[in-house]
Amino acid sequence: MTLLQILLALNAVWFAMAFDAFYRRRRIFAKVMVPIQTDRENSAYDALIESGRFMGGFNLALSAFNVLLLFNIGGFNTASQWATLLIFNALAHGSQFFGNVPMALKNRRGGGLWNVFKGVMLLIFVIDFTLMIANAALAAWLLV
């Protein structure tokens, strides 16, 4: 299996896991995002739960996209075509990573609504960063 295939498989699995967390287990994930019980007693919390369907849907599409690419390696025959697709993946992971950076900075000052440096949020933060860098690095290597 080539590096490209491994990376596409990792992207597909990670996005599928995000679909599961945001769509299927959206109530559990909402509790991670709003850890204090008393903060959950409002309609905004209910809206957060339901917004998981949208986030999950996007992640399902990204997972399917990577699976389709994995099984269609021969469909793209230039390095720049693959680099374009990998840059897209890097941006998808990067948007998740950089979306958590402001909260991580608040955490370092003792604040923030959720803790980016603990539990499942730390896992998300680290894996999205790692996959962002891996996709971008392989794209850059393909363009050189």
Express each pLDDT in 33-51 by its tens digit: 898 999 999 999 999 999 9
The 10 Å Cβ neighbour count of residue 95 is: 11
Q: What does pTM read for this prediction?
A: 0.88
User: Which of 74, 102, 93 lies closest to 18, judged by CA?
Assistant: 93
Dist. CA 128–CA 5, nearest whole Å? 18
DSSP 98-133: HHHHHHHHHHHTT--SS-TTSHHHHHHHHHHHHHHH
Domain that holds residue 65: 3-143
Note the helical H segments in the chain: 3-19, 26-33, 43-70, 79-108, 119-143
Query: Residues with Cβ < 8 Å from 27, sequence gap 6 or more?
Result: 49
**pLDDT exceeds 70 at position 1:** no
Express each pLDDT in 72-118 by its tens digit: 988 888 999 999 999 999 999 999 999 999 999 999 999 998 899 99
Dist. CA 121–CA 81, nearest whole Å? 33
Total domains in the chain come to 1
In one-letter notation, the amino acid at residue 63 is S
